[in-house]
């Protein structure tokens, strides 16, 4: 893993480390630049089955290493994301794997907080905001389906409430939430299309289970807009944090496209 100082001097790294034994599939960061509280950290996921958290101030070894126990099959980690970084102590990492596993790691307690399986390889996960108390998260997968998890209420056996949507005809490569409105998110599909969604909260986000404990209640999603940009998959995308509706995406056709999405609102 190499982090360069700027695009003009890509051969002058500010941080470099031999992070994994095999290819690094995914990377995310939090802390610093007013995005999440606490230390600036980087998380990487690899084909070797490990998820590692790095502090650029500590050069030699990761500050956290999540890996399968001895004897377990090592699954290919395809996506990682930071979240729950709303103070200097709390922080979570979510990781998605090729077999459909989603694992939520609590870095404060160094424990596995929750896990589930969505039956298809997990291509992308993202919290609606990194720097708030966990609210909700979207996970996209092969076969064109995404899942929205309400993270405010965790039941001890049922986990988090969720809904799923068959959104595209092929793999959903990426999901990105609108920086100005966390209820709106964009998904990028393997057919070269983008779909814009809005999440609607239920009247009550939790209810009492039969044993008296609280269990979450999932909301609903609605499709706002969709567009086909290419005959090749759209593999990556991002929103502008400053200009409402401005986004950039790239695809397997080796083309970078800049778009302006209209009729958006801030909250």
118 located within any domain = yes
211 located within any domain = yes
Question: Which residues face 220 on adjacent strands?
Answer: 200
Q: How many domains does the chain have?
A: 1
CATH of the domain at 131: 2.130.10.10
d(CA 141, CA 175): 10
pLDDT of 1:
60
d(CA 28, CA 23): 15
pTM recorded for the entire structure = 0.92
Question: Which residues face 30 on adjacent strands?
Answer: 41
215 located within any domain = yes
pLDDT of 211:
81
266 located within any domain = no
131 located within any domain = yes
Kindly report each contact of residues 66-69 with a partner whose C-beta sits within 8 Å and lies 24 or more positions away, as own/partner: 66/93, 66/95, 66/103, 66/105, 66/112
- Neighbouring CB atoms inside 10 A of 138's CB total 25
pLDDT of 3:
62
175 located within any domain = yes
Is the torsion defined by CA of 151, 243, 31, 7 positive or negative?
positive
pLDDT of 4:
58
57 located within any domain = yes
Tens-digit pLDDT profile for the chain (267 aa)?
666 555 566 667 777 888 888 999 999 999 977 788 888 999 999 999 999 999 988 877 899 999 988 888 889 999 999 999 999 999 999 999 999 999 999 999 999 999 999 999 999 999 999 999 999 999 999 989 999 999 999 999 999 999 999 988 899 999 999 999 999 999 999 999 999 999 999 999 999 988 889 999 999 999 999 999 999 999 999 999 999 999 999 999 999 999 999 878 776
pLDDT of 263:
75
pLDDT of 2:
60
Domain, as residue range, for 90 = 2-260
11 located within any domain = yes
Q: Which regions of 84-242 does DSSP assign to beta strands (E)? A: 92-97, 101-106, 111-117, 122-127, 136-141, 145-155, 159-166, 172-178, 181-189, 193-200, 206-208, 214-216, 220-228, 234-239
Residue found by looking up tokens 């209420």 in the block: 153
Q: Contact, 126 vs 95, CB < 8 A?
A: no
């Amino acid at each position: 893993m190499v982090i360069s100082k700027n695009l003009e001097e890509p051969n002058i790294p500010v941080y470099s480390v031999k992070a994994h034994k095999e290819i690094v599939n995914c990377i995310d960061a939090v802390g610093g630049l007013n995005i999440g509280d606490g230390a600036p950290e980087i998380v990487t996921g690899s084909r070797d089955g490990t998820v590692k958290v790095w502090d650029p101030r500590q050069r030699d070894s990761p500050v956290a290493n999540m890996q399968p126990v001895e004897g377990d099959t090592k699954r290919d980690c395809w996506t990682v994301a930071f979240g729950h970084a709303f103070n200097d102590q709390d922080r979570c990492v979510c990781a998605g794997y090729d077999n459909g596993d989603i694992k939520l790691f609590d870095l404060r307690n160094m424990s596995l907080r929750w896990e589930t399986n969505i039956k298809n390889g997990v291509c992308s996960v993202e919290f609606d905001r990194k720097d708030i108390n966990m609210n909700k998260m979207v996970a996209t997968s092969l076969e064109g389906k995404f899942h929205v998890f309400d993270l405010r209420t965790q039941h001890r056996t049922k986990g988090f409430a969720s809904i799923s949507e068959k959104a595209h005809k092929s793999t959903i490569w990426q999901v990105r939430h609108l920086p100005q409105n966390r209820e709106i998110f964009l998904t990028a599909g393997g057919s070269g299309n983008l779909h814009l969604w809005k999440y609607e909260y239920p009247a009550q986000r939790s209810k009492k289970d039969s044993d008296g404990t609280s269990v979450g209640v999932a909301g609903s999603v609605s499709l706002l807009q969709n567009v086909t940009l290419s005959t090749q998959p759209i593999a990556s995308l991002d929103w502008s944090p400053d200009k409402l509706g401005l986004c950039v995406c790239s695809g397997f056709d080796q083309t970078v496209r800049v778009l302006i999405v209209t009729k958006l609102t801030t909250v």
